[in-house]
Amino acid sequence: MGFLHDIKSKKTSIPDGCRIWYDSTIFKDRLDVYQKHLAFLVEADESLNAVPLAKYKEEMAALEIELFSLVWLNKFKREEFVIPQSIFTKRYLEDKGYANIWEIMREYNKVLSASTTTKENGESFDNLQIALMNKKRFDFAKKLYAWNRASLDDENVVACMNIVANRLGADIKRPRGDYCHTTKMLAWRFLKRVNINGEDINMTARERLLDIISAYYRLVDNLWLK
């Protein structure tokens, strides 16, 4: 049995499971990995040399935690697993002095939400499909609120529940021979946040960034939360 079973059986607590993952794959000796990532991108397009390593690290750490949280939602689904994970993540980041990373996560969270009403070709779904998705997300949020009713006067807890609801329906499934639109949207937002115009870098650099994002998602999905 893997980590998924350990959490569901309460062999491993939600805070302990998240802490182990964050400590070992994002905040412990991760600088070398981020340096290699950035060098990999710069090798493809020297204009990316303008991105400071500290900024790259900050943005990628936020994106990776958001991807971890997306896999968590899609694997566990139920309120008693997804709300505590979100609340713990916010507190963990604050305790580590990385409250800014939580705020950056919210930017990528908005992308995940938008991806659920966007087609693979980048066009929006029709109004009916958008309304249905919004209704599904609203109903899910109501379930989250009902489960944690005692904390609804705490704006931090409410924010944590809302960020979970925004992930509903999002996924990173790579179509054959291409990257999924969610990955592309995340990469585009990443580039914008590090002050790089995605139109100005070459295709090789774009694909390498997409590969970095996709690889981390697969790492979480296939290795840890299985």
Rounded Cα distance between 60 and 5, Å, is 28
pLDDT score of 186: 96
Amino acid found at 206:
R
**Does the structure show a pLDDT above 90 at 225?**
no
pLDDT score of 23: 87
Rounded Cα distance between 224 and 23, Å, is 14
Q: pLDDT category, 172, cuts 50, 70, 90?
A: confident
**Does the structure show a pLDDT above 80 at 214?**
yes
Rounded Cα distance between 151 and 161, Å, is 11
Rounded Cα distance between 196 and 130, Å, is 30
Domain boundaries, the chain: 3-224
pLDDT score of 42: 97
pLDDT score of 176: 60
Amino acid found at 181:
H
**Does the structure show a pLDDT above 80 at 192?**
yes
pLDDT score of 149: 66
pLDDT score of 91: 93
Rounded Cα distance between 115 and 109, Å, is 10
Q: In this predicted model, what pLDDT tens digit does every residue of 43-95 receive, in sequence order? A: 999 999 999 999 999 999 999 999 999 999 988 888 888 889 999 999 999 99
